Structure formats: structure tokens, C-alpha cells
């Protein structure tokens, strides 16, 4: 069962627990909060041709010691003496998620709000001054929980590879794969990392246990420190409009817009997190019913992939995006696909026009009427 935390409690070196009671999750497995799309994208990434070559090459290119020395020399190490309040939050997060070894955390001078968990052997957490100055205590607690979630899931090594392939491309040009192969791996890494952010957002909620704070933090990352000018409901409505709005051209533009990004769009993250917070899965974790790390070795990869496939199928079927609705229509063998193509992109935004009864003897065909697949969810 999950355990409550209260002030003054100490355990395994994790002191300074939160100022209010929070549930902790002894032995929790990252499987408890990992988004199905995260797991399936990671499986696809590992199977990508050439990935092993890049992984081995970069592992030898920059030893872990060099990475740590870089941050020790040009950032501030969080401790009891420096950024003590962040150190308390880091210990709290590790205590709640039962991460045995508290990873080192650094504050880096950068006005852009950002945080990352990197490292090839052991995770290192880095937060920017822009983020520290932007968020309040509860919002920051969720962000640190987010990064500890990355650490518990083992995401740091893949994030590091993405970092090197995108910012140090000249230095890795000698890897014997060619530019197209490297681009394919970078694209796959970005696709996985966007999905892994959804997992880490869930971990942040398990640590902060304050959905409003998580929502506020995402809103601030999107719109700055102007909460008095923003509204959570309106912010979430943006995500709904983003998913459903436009025609097929907009669906293609959405894909092109997201490809170069390492993070999902902020409104989408907020909507996904709120949906999970209202789910039975989240409530079961809060009640103490969750997968344990001790059971990880017995977990079936097939079951994990089946769950991921089921998630994708459900997502496509329920999506309001015009492209996803088209996929559903084609899969169902319904709808006047040829007619829609002839009418151009605009033909994908609504059901085909209905013929007048008696005009050619086909006006009563149900496939072209209000009940056609284009109007189904």
C-alpha cells in the first residue's frame, strides 16, 4: 500500500519531507506511470537500424566523468548550502518515488525555462534559472518530480544521445552511418522523447499530488508569469481546438510542426495529464495498488506492446483530428474516399454532400447520408 508522509519523518537519508502530507509509493515501478505511447516508441527506437552503432559510439565519446565536470565547472550544484529549497524538493521526490540514490542536481544560468535529466551511466538533473524564477514552490515540486520520473524510467541515457546528436553534430560526423541514418535516428529519438514527457508529467503529479499546480506550471511555461491573465479551462480548450480544428492540410502541418520539437505542445501535455488524473489508473496508484519494481523481471514484453497497440487504436478511433478520422474511415471501409480526394483537402472536413433523391437513383444510399463514416466518432 502507499504510505502517508508527514513532517519530521526520516528514512534512508531522505530528510526534509514536504510541508503537507503526501502519499509515497514504496518500490513503485516506472510501469505504473509510463504512457503506453512512451513504451511503444522506445521499442521502435531500439529496433531502428544503426541505433546500436550510435549508442556505442557516443558512450565512448563522452565519459560520465566529463559530463559531471562540465556542470561542476559552470553551474551551481544544489545542496544544503546552495539552493537548499530545491535540494529539499529533490529529496522529497526521490523519497516519494522510492528512488534509492538521489541524483545530483545543478542550476544553470539560462533565462529560458527548462529542465532535463541526462547522463550515460547515472542520471544528472539540470534546471535553468529561468525555470527557478518562473515557478512557485508547488509548481517546481512537480517539475522536479517530472525529472526524477525520467531518472526512474531510465530515460537519461536516450535524452543524452539526442542532446549530442542535435547539438554536437559536427563531433559525431565520423560515426559510420551517413547523414540520412543519423537524421532517422534523431527523428525517432524526438518522437520517443515527446512521448516520454507524457510519462514524466505523470510522475510529477505523483510527486506533487496537486493537479492545479501541475496545470499552472504548464501554463506558465507556455505563457509566462501572468497567471492573472490565464485560465485553466480556457487553456485546456486550446488543446481540444488544436486536435479537432482545421482540415487535412492542418493535420499535415501539425506533423511537420512537431517533428523538430523535443517536447509535445504544452496544451496537449496539460490535456493528457488532466485526463490521466481523472482516470481509474491514477486512483488505484493513489490507493496503493501499483506495479512493483520487484515484478519488472516477470513483465511480458508482449503484454506491454499489446497495451501500447490498444492505446493507439483507441486514440485514433476517438480522435477528432481530420487525418485520424480519415484513417478510421479507411480502416472501416466506409465513406466516399474517392469523392473526398476529388474535392480536394476541404472534402475531409465534413461528410460528402448528399444527392437529391431520385436524381440518379442513388440518393438513398446510406454511405453518403448523415450516417456515413465521416460523421462517426
The answer to whether 139 is a known catalytic residue is: no
SS (H, E, C) the chain: CCEEECCCCCECCECCCCCCCEEECCCECHHHCCCHHHHHHHHHHHHCCCHHHHHHHHHHHCCHHHHHHHHHHHCEECCCCCCHHHHHHHHHHHHHCCCCCCCCEEEECCCCCCEEEECCCCCEEEEEHHHHHHCCHHHHHHHHHHHHHHHHHCCHHHHHHHHHHHHCCCCCCCCCCCHHHHHHHHHHHHHHHHHHHHHHHHHHHHHHCCHHHHHHHHHHHHHCCCHHHCCHHHHHHHHHHHHHCCCHHHHHHHHHHHCCCCCCCHHHHHHHHHHHHCCHHHHHHHCCCCCEHHHHHHCCHHHHHHHHHHHHHHHHHHCCCHHHHHHHHHHHCCCCHHHHHHHCHHHHCCCCCCCCCCCCCCCCCHHHCCCCHHHCC
Rounded Cα distance, 374 and 12, in Å: 58
Catalytic residue (choose from 34, 138, 139, 147): 147
Residues annotated as catalytic are 147
Amino acid at each position: 500500500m502507499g504510505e502517508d508522509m508527514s513532517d519530521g519523518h526520516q528514512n534512508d537519508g531522505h530528510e526534509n519531507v514536504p510541508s503537507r502530507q503526501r502519499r509515497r509509493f514504496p518500490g513503485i515501478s516506472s510501469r505504473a506511470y509510463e504512457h503506453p505511447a512512451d513504451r511503444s516508441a522506445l521499442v521502435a527506437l531500439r529496433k531502428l537500424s544503426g541505433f546500436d552503432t550510435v549508442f556505442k559510439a557516443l558512450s565512448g565519446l563522452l565519459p560520465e566523468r566529463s559530463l559531471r565536470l562540465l556542470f561542476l565547472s559552470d553551474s551551481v550544484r544544489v545542496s544544503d548550502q546552495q539552493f537548499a529549497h530545491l535540494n529539499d524538493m529533490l529529496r522529497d521526490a526521490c523519497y516519494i518515488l522510492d528512488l534509492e540514490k538521489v541524483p545530483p542536481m545543478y542550476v544553470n544560468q539560462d533565462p529560458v525555462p527548462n529542465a532535463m535529466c541526462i547522463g550515460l551511466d547515472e542520471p544528472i538533473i539540470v534546471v535553468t534559472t529561468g525555470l527557478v524564477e518562473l515557478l512557485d514552490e508547488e509548481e517546481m515540486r512537480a517539475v522536479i518530480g517530472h525529472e526524477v520520473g525520467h531518472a526512474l524510467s531510465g530515460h537519461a541515457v536516450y535524452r543524452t544521445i539526442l542532446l549530442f546528436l542535435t547539438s554536437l553534430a559536427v563531433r559525431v560526423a565520423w560515426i559510420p552511418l551517413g547523414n540520412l541514418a543519423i537524421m532517422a535516428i534523431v527523428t525517432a529519438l524526438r518522437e520517443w522523447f515527446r512521448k516520454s514527457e507524457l510519462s514524466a508529467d505523470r510522475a510529477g503529479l505523483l510527486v506533487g499530488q496537486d493537479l492545479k499546480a501541475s496545470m499552472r506550471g504548464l501554463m506558465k511555461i507556455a505563457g509566462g508569469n501572468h497567471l492573472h491573465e490565464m485560465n485553466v479551462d480556457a487553456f485546456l480548450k486550446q488543446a481540444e481546438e488544436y486536435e479537432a480544428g482545421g482540415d487535412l492540410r492542418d493535420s499535415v502541418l501539425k506533423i511537420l510542426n512537431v517533428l523538430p520539437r523535443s517536447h509535445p505542445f504544452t496544451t496537449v501535455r496539460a490535456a493528457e495529464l488532466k485526463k490521466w488524473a481523472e482516470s481509474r489508473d491514477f486512483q488505484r496508484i493513489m490507493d496503493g495498488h501499483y506495479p512493483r519494481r520487484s515484478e519488472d523481471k516477470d513483465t511480458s514484453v508482449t503484454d506491454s506492446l499489446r497495451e501500447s497497440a490498444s492505446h493507439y487504436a483507441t486514440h485514433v478511433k476517438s480522435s477528432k483530428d481530420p487525418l485520424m478520422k480519415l484513417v478510421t474511415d479507411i480502416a472501416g471501409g466506409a465513406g466516399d474516399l474517392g469523392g473526398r480526394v476529388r474535392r480536394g483537402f476541404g472534402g475531409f472536413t465534413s461528410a460528402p454532400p448528399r444527392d437529391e433523391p431520385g436524381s440518379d437513383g442513388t440518393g438513398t444510399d446510406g454511405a453518403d447520408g448523415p450516417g456515413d463514416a465521416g460523421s462517426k466518432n
